[in-house]
Amino acid sequence: MVALLLAALSAVPVSSPPPLDPAFVAVVDPGHGGDKDGAIGPGGVREKDLALGIARRLAQRLRAQGGKVILTRERDESVELSARSALANAAEADLFISIHLNSMATRKGRSRTRGIETYFLSADASDATATAVAARENADRAPAEIAHDDAVAGILADLGSVESLAESSRLAYAIHERLTSRTGAENHGVKQAPFHVLAGARMAAVLVEVGFVSHPEESRLLASAAYQERIAAAIAEGVAGFRAGGRRAAR
């Protein structure tokens, strides 16, 4: 009898529950990848590897908030800068967060400079430092992307929409405040610059330089799982605060 009952039950089709609508859609972009190592720190630690590790941890945190999260790369592979924001547009994402690590060129700068800075898009950089950071990150452009700089200039001119710019600014400040308070890292502020990876994104979009891989001590911190978790938790808290602020404004 038991065998017959089990056989009957196994014949009944079991339907999966319908997927829940995500609370939000986020695209998390680990900077560089493939033949683009990004900045190299002491001992050969590579920006692209640390960015991917932090991005994966952030994705887990955002999914725990009920979000649908897409990574622009899941492994060490090359992805064109323009394809990253295009992916976010195609997914109709609410957020685009690009994870990077900073670096200084001179020996003096590498020994002294550490800390966090957060960016959103602008046709003009906030200062000389922002100009240098954007130039370094934009160096990943493929030849075809460089040939289309006129199109990018047009995107920068209108910045998609005033609303997207305002939301990007609000997201940058929400993330930056949590990051600096959670990590205790030096605060280099929220800035603006013409980042190619952000150009064309039609949603709140930011680029976060989570620390200086060129600084010996901060590089070791950034390579540790515990500190990467702290960074991911702080960014996720910033996203939660940003979303809460948007819900309050909509009432």
Residue pLDDT, tens place only, 209-228 = 999 999 999 999 999 999 99
Q: Is the pLDDT of residue 189 over 70?
A: yes
Q: Report the distance separating Cα 174 and Cα 227, nearest Å.
A: 19
Question: What would the pLDDT profile of 133-167 be if each residue is shown by its tens digit?
Answer: 887 777 765 555 554 554 445 455 445 556 778 89
Q: Report the distance separating Cα 61 and Cα 237, nearest Å.
A: 9
Question: What would the pLDDT profile of 62-97 be if each residue is shown by its tens digit?
Answer: 999 999 999 999 999 999 998 999 999 999 999 999
- Classify the C-alpha dihedral 77-81-82-85 as positive or negative: positive
pTM of this structure:
0.85
H helices of 45-189, in order, are 47-64, 81-90, 107-112, 128-138, 143-147, 149-158, 162-183
Q: Please provide residue 32's backbone torsions phi and psi, each rounded to the nearest 5 degrees.
A: 65, -150
197 or 146, which is more confident: 197
Q: Is the pLDDT of residue 50 over 80?
A: yes
CATH number of 21-250: 3.40.630.40
Residue spans per domain, the chain: 21-250
Q: Is the pLDDT of residue 21 over 50?
A: yes
Summarize the confidence of residues 51-72 as an average pLDDT.
98
pLDDT of residue 177: 98
